[in-house]
Amino acid sequence: MNISSSRVSSLRSRCTRAAAIGVTVCLGATLAACGSSGSDSSSSASGGGKVGVSLILKTLTNPYFVSMKKDAKAQAAKDNVSLTVAAGTTDGDTQTQITAIDNAISRGDKGILITTNGDAVNAALNRAKQAGLFVIALDTAPNPPSVADITYATDNEQAGKLDGRYAAAALNGKPAVIAMLDLFNNQVVSVDVNRDHGFLEGMGIDPGSKTQNGKEAKSGKYTGGKGGTYTIACHQPTQGAIDGGRTAMENCLSSNPDINVVYAINEPAGEGAYNALKAAGKEKNVAIYAIDGSCSGLKNVTSGEFAADAVQYPGKMAALGVSSIAKLARGGSKPSVTNGKSFYDTGTALAAAKPLGGITVQSPSQAASACWGS
């Protein structure tokens, strides 16, 4: 979520899954970590010995990353991997992540899976690569992407496009007055740009820039669906949080009370937008489009709070990462990127309660079979 620098992890919605297979908890002064008890992380991968792998997350409080931890543990048990899980104490805590990287090097781990809290970890990741560890970034590529050997992530631009195409089709030719609820307005983050631009492209609106949000023409015609006229009412930052989404939506309504389409960078921002619309008595006349695919977010699709939700699979990213490092350490080949992309695409789909002609969707119940959280 995702999505970000220090606040990207908040882009994700809620999840609590517990799985502990022969895992004990190891605590350090600033490091939360879990490792298989009695394991030898430095043991050679050949001959069926355990392979040491470190999973280093933004935090262990965000449900999105909790789901990564859960599925990584399950995969580690299958692949005879000694998994150590570490996380920042707060969003943006790079020092704890750096300590976890250095610990992985000292243990002789074969690889690292990481959702970075910022560019400050780059030097440590480069040290890990020089020491022979294979580095896989999860969810969002580091800056620059070459800091990791490969990234496992969702195509965030495609996720935005799925929402945008559905929004254009649902309008059925009616004018669109659009609120764009982004992540930031004071820094450029790839997930923010990709999702924003994807939504506009899905609607058939030129984003006007390849690298920045808010550069599209503020009025014109959208070509998605049956086509029609559009007005961009606002671009507002949300920090990917519920309170940020509410404030952003309130600001947008002040600028233009006729908004009928809301793009939300993630589910929490979408929830905040819904709260603001409900307080203004406008929730029944506005369609909210979110991205995440948590179990709770899909319930919002069922209830009608969200018109659609582009789903993602964080647990799959982590499980594939564990498996890839285990195979590589035991003599297998390095994982490769998806054809035509600079990363390995772990997939996305669109969940919507109302099917529309020409748009492929999953029902919320279908999407829930692979959702994360509760």
Q: Kindly report, residue by residue over 45-70, the tens digit of the pLDDT.
A: 444 689 999 999 999 988 899 999 99
The residue-averaged pLDDT of 5-11 equals 42
Which residues 6+ apart lie within 8 Å of 211 measured at CB?
A: 188, 193
Q: Which segment of 85-94, 270-279, 343-352 scores lowest on mean pLDDT?
A: 85-94
% of the chain residues with pLDDT over 70: 87
Confidence at 366, pLDDT banded by 50, 70, 90: very high
Looking at the structure, give the CATH architecture of the domain made up of residues 8-154+314-335: 3-Layer(aba) Sandwich (3.40)
Q: What is the DSSP letter of 372?
A: B
Q: Which segment of 11-25, 78-92, 224-238, 297-311 scores lowest on mean pLDDT?
A: 11-25
| Tokens 């390849």, residue located | 210
Q: Which amino acid is at 203?
A: M
Distance in angstroms (rounded) separating the CA atoms of residues 362 and 356: 11
What's the confidence (pLDDT) of residue 209?
97
* pLDDT higher than threshold 50 for residue 13: no
| Tokens 């609820």, residue located | 181
* pLDDT higher than threshold 60 for residue 245: yes
Average pLDDT, the chain: 89
Distance in angstroms (rounded) separating the CA atoms of residues 64 and 372: 7
What's the confidence (pLDDT) of residue 220?
98
What's the confidence (pLDDT) of residue 188?
84
pTM for the whole thing? 0.83
Looking at the structure, give the CATH architecture of the domain made up of residues 156-311+348-370: 3-Layer(aba) Sandwich (3.40)
Q: Kindly report, residue by residue over 334-348, the tens digit of the pLDDT.
A: 999 999 999 999 999
Confidence at 1, pLDDT banded by 50, 70, 90: low
Domain with CATH 3.40.50.2300 in the chain: 8-154+314-335, 156-311+348-370
